Amino acid sequence: MLPTIVLVGRPNVGKSTLFNRMTRTRDALVADLPGLTRDRHYGRGLGASRPYLVVDTGGFEPTAESGILKEMARQTLLAIDEADVIIFLVDGRDGMTPQDGVIAERLRKSQRPVLLAVNKTEGMQRAIVSAEFHELALGDPLSISSAHGEGVRDLVELALESAPPEEVEVAEVQDDRPPKVAIVGRPNVGKSTLVNALLGEERVIAFDQPGTTRDSIEIALERGGKHYTLIDTAGVRKRGKVFEAIEKFSVVKTMQAIEEANVAILVVDAQEGITEQDAHVAAYILDAGRALVVAINKWDGLKDDEREWIKREIDRKLQFLDFAKFHYISALRNKGLTELFQSVDMAYKAAMAKLPTPQLTRVLIDAIAQHQPAVSRGIRPKLRYAHQGGSNPPIVVVHGNHVDGIKDSYVRFLEGVFRKVFKLTGTPLRVQFKQGENPFAEDPDARKRGEGIVSMRRRKTEQRAELNARAREARGEAVKRPAAVPRKRASKK
């Protein structure tokens, strides 16, 4: 087991900045705003004498009795229970506050090793800045600067010395990393509730307030003997309703999570219906090429006539997701989750499928025999063979001649044929075309775009006559060129 270091402190003391410094990433959102981090955020520490895990927590308000601050404090207490070592971070520029004393008292009761780190001490006399924090009775304060990295390495090494020795485990080396599953959707549709239901514990804050989740949280999940990495993301609202800078960063993190995921679960609120924003998020997932499963949440709270209306709305507004599986679930009551993850497995398998070139080519030939591409500019495109060009999403590259004249409708026809034959359910499929080049063709003789057959032959005849005339001139023979047609001058009125 790797030692776990938990970062604890009141809001806006630099915990997320220190987390990014220790993990050498930018996974945690950082801004000059108190209460930005709300859930526990796990990362793998780098740059120390041995590997370790580091946990970023929200601003600790031990005396909070209600609201989101109470939920944040509960998440921090859960992280403290998991800790091998606690780094208590205080702000050297603000000095010691009464809240620091309350947190210190709570940490002493945890029976965990605690290191006191005085942050934001760059450019200051550290001995003077840290002197007042001796009052907390947590040992000698260590002056650091998480933004500049000053003293961070020494702090981590001291924390690892206080941690229990690492247990030697014999583990099998696995080449396949667990699939990443991103939970995405609008705010307050039940994404965090779904994550907690899948995990069987209150791992992330699920609160009846839109925008509770602000960062993308990665969580390991084992279900049915299979391993996954869940990504709980912030809700994506309409662009015109996003005013706070922090929410804009949260939307960016959600988009990044979609790009990094293998499968996306689009959560839709059945009680609010299918909105345009649901369709926008689905379109972004489709553009990113990620496998998709749609979860219609809060289904248990609808009547029969309302359910029929929702199904009609799905057919009307989400018809472009015909490749995806739709599941009607209740995350709060754990209904429909088994079937949901069966579709996740199916979508992941389809997204990572290996398509043999001979079989792809045979399917292409059968599709052409069934329906040939339409004639474009007097020439019918000729498709020769196909091979796989990538995975997640599967990409089929088709080689042929005059492929620039293939219509979009025929591209959709080929996508449907390949998806049906190879049973690629739950993932988008992309068909790309590559023009076969003739090594004997010359650019002057190439047919120009929009040029007819007669015009092309006339142009080629004139080019050959010009070449022959130049050859005779080179041999000293007399050449009679056609007289240039004089241009008509505009008459002056």
Best-predicted range by mean pLDDT among 64-73, 239-248, 322-331, 428-437? Answer: 322-331
Is position 445 annotated in a ligand binding site? Answer: no
CA 256, CA 288: separation in Å to the nearest integer?
10
Those residues with Cβ within 8 angstroms of residue 322's Cβ, 6 or more apart along the chain or in another chain: none
Residue 196, annotated as binding a ligand:
no
Whether the per-residue pLDDT at 133 is higher than 50: the answer is yes
Is 450 annotated as a binding-site member? Answer: no
338 assigned binding-site residue: no
309 annotated to bind ligand: no
Q: Is 414's pLDDT higher than 90?
A: yes
Separation CA 262–CA 388 (nearest Å): 18
Q: Which residues contact 331 (CB under 8 A, 6 or more apart)?
A: 190, 193, 194, 197, 267, 295, 297, 298, 337
Cα–Cα distance for residue pair 286/362, rounded to 1 Å: 27
Direct distance between the N- and C-terminal alpha carbons of the chain, in angstroms, rounded to an integer: 96
Using DSSP bridges, classify how beta strands 263-269 and 395-401 pair: parallel, antiparallel or unpaired: unpaired
Mean pLDDT calculated for residue range 399-404:
88
The answer to the question of whether 15 is labelled as a binding residue is yes
Residue 189 marked as a ligand binder: yes
pLDDT at 365 over 90: yes
373 is in an annotated binding site: no
pLDDT of residue 210: 44
Q: 59 labelled as ligand-binding?
A: yes
To the question of whether residue 192 is assigned a binding role by annotation, the answer is yes
The annotation status of 336 as a binding-site residue, yes or no, is no
Report whether 298 belongs to an annotated binding site: yes
Q: Can you tell me the distance from the alpha carbon of 437 to that of 452, in angstroms, rounded to the nearest whole number?
A: 21
Q: Is 186 marked as binding a ligand? A: yes
Highest mean pLDDT among 307-311, 465-469, 488-492: 307-311
Does the pLDDT of residue 50 top 90, yes or no?
no
Q: Is 299 annotated as a binding residue?
A: yes
pLDDT of residue 112 exceeding 60 = yes
482 is in an annotated binding site: no
Ligand-binding annotation for 232, yes or no, is: yes
Q: Confirm whether residue 12 is marked as ligand binding.
A: yes
Match 């509730």 to its residue by tokens.
193
Low-confidence winner among 33-47, 92-106, 244-258, 407-421 (lowest mean pLDDT): 244-258
**Average pLDDT in the 60-67 region?**
67
The answer on whether 434 is annotated among ligand-binding residues is: no
Alpha helices in 261-407, H assignment, sequence order? 276-288, 304-317, 337-351, 357-370
Name the average pLDDT for the chain. Answer: 79
Q: Is 378 annotated as a binding residue?
A: no
Average pLDDT over residues 160-178: 60
pLDDT in tens, 465-474: 887 887 777 7
- What does each C-alpha distance from 255 to 64, 126, 433 come to in angstroms? 33, 41, 28
191 marked among binding-site residues: yes
Q: Is 289 annotated as a binding residue?
A: no
**For residues 424-432, average pLDDT:** 91
Find out whether 466 is annotated in a ligand binding site: no
* Structural domains for the chain: 4-162 (3.40.50.300), 180-351 (3.40.50.300), 357-435 (3.30.300.20)
Would the pLDDT of 51 be above 50?
Answer: yes
136 pLDDT more than 80: yes
State the average pLDDT over residues 251-279: 81
